[in-house]
């Protein structure tokens, strides 16, 4: 039993060493940056013409939609979880 506890303790120590918890200020700063970036892409998206007739415009619209979608997922993640860990540098 003590061997199992020791192995669990060592595993926990390795896990803690591999990760660093984001402070609330860092989390809020990242969230603010993500929202600001989403607003920028959204403004760009709203400036697109109603009729998109060229391949380049279609590709640009698709890139904007993909970027906004990814940012929405990231924003949701940072809003949902108060405790976030990142790899140590």
Is the separation of the CB atoms in 21 and 82 below 8 Å? no
Residue 9 lies in a domain: no
> What is the spatial distance between Cα 65 and Cα 62, in angstroms, rounded to a whole number?
5
The structural domain count of the chain equals: 1
pLDDT tens, residue by residue, 7-43: 787 777 776 666 777 889 999 999 999 999 999 999 9
Identify the domain containing residue 78 by its residue range.
21-87
Which pLDDT value is given to residue 47? 93
Beta strands in 4-88 (DSSP E): 19-21, 85-87
Those residues whose C-beta lies under 8 Å from the C-beta of residue 57, and which sit 6 or more positions away, are 48, 49
| pLDDT tier at 1, thresholds 50, 70, 90 | low
Residue 65 lies in a domain: yes
Residue 42 lies in a domain: yes
Residue 31 lies in a domain: yes
Burial of 43 (C-beta count, 10 Å sphere; 0-12/13-18/19+):
exposed
Residue 12 lies in a domain: no
The pTM of this model reads 0.73
């Amino acid at each position: 039993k003590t061997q199992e506890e020791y192995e669990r303790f060592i595993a926990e120590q390795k896990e803690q060493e591999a990760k660093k918890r984001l402070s609330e200020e860092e989390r809020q700063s990242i969230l603010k940056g993500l929202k600001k970036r989403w607003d920028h892409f959204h403004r760009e998206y709203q400036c697109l013409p109603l009729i998109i007739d060229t391949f380049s415009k279609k590709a640009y619209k698709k890139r904007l939609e993909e970027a906004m979608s990814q940012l929405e997922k990231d924003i949701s993640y940072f809003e949902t979880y108060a405790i976030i860990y990142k790899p140590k540098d």
